[in-house]
Chain A
Amino acid sequence: MSAFWHLLLWACVLWYSSITLLVALRGWKDILTMLRRLRDGEGDDTP
């Protein structure tokens, strides 16, 4: 069982590093798109 936790820990480090980088790059664009749509009133009618 020790090897399972060791592998899982390194999987966490690798996955978490990747997703942080990805979110940092793409999340910013999501914020700008969201604010632009709210300013233009495009999102008002979506359920």
Chain B
Amino acid sequence: MPTTSQFHPWIDGSIVGLYLLVTMVAGLWVRRYVSKVEHFLVAGREMNLYLGIASLAATEFGIITCMYAAEAGYTKGFAGATPGICQALAMLLIGLTGFCVKPLRASGAITLPELFEKRFGVRVRWLAGVVIVLGGLLNMGVFLKIGGDFLCAVCGWDTSYLVPVMGGLLLLVAIYTILGGMLSVLVTDFLQFIVMSVGLLVVTLLILYHLGWDQLEAAVRTQHGEGGFNPLIHPEMGWSYLIFQIIGNGAATLTWQTTISRLLSAKDAATGQRIYVRTSFFFVCRWLVPVLWGVAALAMFGPVGDGESTIMMMPRFLSVFLPVGLMGLMVAAMLAADMSTDSSYMLGWGSVIYNDILAPFRKGRWPEARAIRWNRCIVALIGVYLFVFGLLYEIQGDAWSYLLLSGSVYLSSMSVLLIACCYWKRANSWGAFGAILGGAVVPITFLTLEKLTATAEFAVRIGKDNAGIATFAAAALGMIIGSLLKPSARPHDA
């Protein structure tokens, strides 16, 4: 397999350097507008439609997205893009109906736990904050390493460059996120969306032009048969995979902090819903474009050899396929995608730590300068965590399944809490604790089983999809049983 990269240090390096310079200048320029903590966390709720589309799309597409979706294309064919269709449909339906998101935005909350406090009390708010942060950080912890792996592979660098590449990426993102908060994130997201989109489209068109649909289709048919086009007959997918994707992507659209922070930053609920509707089809592109790149890697290299990693096939393909100049554009596009994701995720989890987990420790309302200072420290600490966790943790199995399963630690319980909070009058704090407990126990147990040598085979037999479905079922059962068990409040107790 050829491994020599087409990356030219001067030509491609200059394109990447120019992109980084413009991004940093823009990110730092808007920090002067941050005078209140609401500016830092939700951009003063001044985001309008097109900026919202750019920000949501840029946030939800990182190198990690490109890598796991391309891996799905390589290992499952075009059927690997099924999660994108599930998420697009979920976002379209939620945007059109305002299901949950309308009352959430109307509440004026900055985070989900803040809404939960109004219905379930302060303890549920705090615990929900802890679950969101644990699930989110566990999920996000692998972003940086996979991003570093991608850049080393496409640029043809030795893996010893991984740590400086990871550190450099993180430092740049951290600087403008710490100083400008959501305002810097939105402005850089806009630039990053354009650079990322141009890069993605150019590379996709080049693949279609050079390899052609017939060659790509033949590669999928030879390797995966009809299962490469139909998820229901693919041996690694089937009904349990599809059901978990529908539930998981629906829950992510409702509760994923970085997604709903765009809704909460919108200037009103109607704008938030319009952002969801107009961005929904992007989630098909977000999967199908990298899946195509993965299929192209399959067409060029064939099945993976001994000791080779399926997730690294797409970057290896790009490193030899793209000519000088376009390689720089693609690397700039991927850096744009990754930086926008990292910055939004750091800010998203940081906002929950400040707004909900630290809420009991804040006596009264803090002065704005102090609140902003704390938020900046929290974002910096998340950056340190990312750097350390990214170096230590190794994913078992494919990346997307890990991300969905670790994310389901909170997706399950938080989506159940949100739906019950908005639409079930009988829901109460016991039910909320039951849902959080049920939603956390199943995925944590499964991940532990997977890591222990004695139980790893048992975990494989259960499968990630069944474990994920069980997580949502456990959270829903916890809510129903807990709520029904709690005695109704007597009129004078109210």
Residues of A within 8 A of B (CB): 1-2, 4-6, 8-9, 11-13, 15-17, 19-20, 22-24, 26-31, 33-35, 37-39, 43-44, 46-47
Residue among B45, B53, B221 making CB contact with A46, cutoff 8 Å:
B45
A12 in complex: contacting residue of B47, B198, B267, B288, CB < 8 Å: B288
Using a CB–CB cutoff of 8 Å, the interface residues on chain B facing chain A are 30, 33, 36, 38-39, 43-54, 78, 81, 106, 108, 183, 186-187, 190, 193-194, 197-198, 200-201, 204-205, 208, 213, 217, 221, 226, 229-230, 267-268, 278, 281-282, 284-285, 288-289, 292
Q: Indicate whether A46 sits within 8 Å of B267 (C-beta atoms), given known contacts A28-B190, A30-B47.
A: yes
Assembled-state Cα–Cα distance A26/B194 (Å): 12
If the complex has contacts A8-B288, A12-B284, A13-B201, are A31 and B51 also in contact, measured as CB distance less than 8 A? yes
* A27 pairs with B54, CB closer than 8 A: yes
Instruction: Contacts A8-B284, A8-B288, A15-B285 given; indicate if A34 touches B194 (C-beta within 8 A).
Output: no
Q: Which of A1, A4, A20, A23: most chain B CB closer than 10 A?
A: A23
Q: Do A38 and B39 touch (CB < 8 A)? A: yes
Which 6 A/B pairs are nearest by Cβ-Cβ distance?
Answer: A1-B229, A47-B108, A30-B51, A26-B50, A20-B197, A30-B48
> How far apart are A16's CB and chain B's nearest CB, in angstroms?
5
The dominant DSSP class at the B interface is helix
Given the known interface contacts A12-B288, A23-B194, the answer about A34 and B51 at a Cβ–Cβ threshold of 8 Å is: yes
* Known contacts A16-B201, A44-B44; is-contact A23 B33 (Cβ 8 Å): no
Q: A22 CA to B190 CA in the complex, in Å?
A: 12
Contact of B285 among A4, A16, A22, A27 (CB under 8 A): A16
Does the CB pair B289–A31 fall under 8 Å? no
Question: Is the Cβ of B288 less than 8 Å from the Cβ of A31?
Answer: no
Give the docked Cα–Cα distance between A11 and B285 (Å).
Answer: 9
Considering the complex, give the chain B residue whose CB is closest to the CB of A5.
B78
Please give, as numbers and ranges, the residues of chain B lying within 8 Å of A8 by CB-CB distance: 81, 284, 288
Contacts of A34 on B, CB cut-off 8 Å? Answer: 43-44, 46-48, 51, 186
Contacting pair A19 B46 (CB below 8 A): no
**Pairwise interchain contact A39-B51, C-beta atoms closer than 8 A:** no
A-B contact pairs, 5 of them (CB 8 A): A12-B285, A16-B289, A34-B48, A34-B51, A37-B46
- The CA-CA distance from A27 to B432 in the complex, in Å, is 39
Bound-complex Cα distance A44 to B46 (A): 9
Instruction: Collect the chain A residues with CB atoms within 8 Å of residue B217's CB.
Output: 2, 6
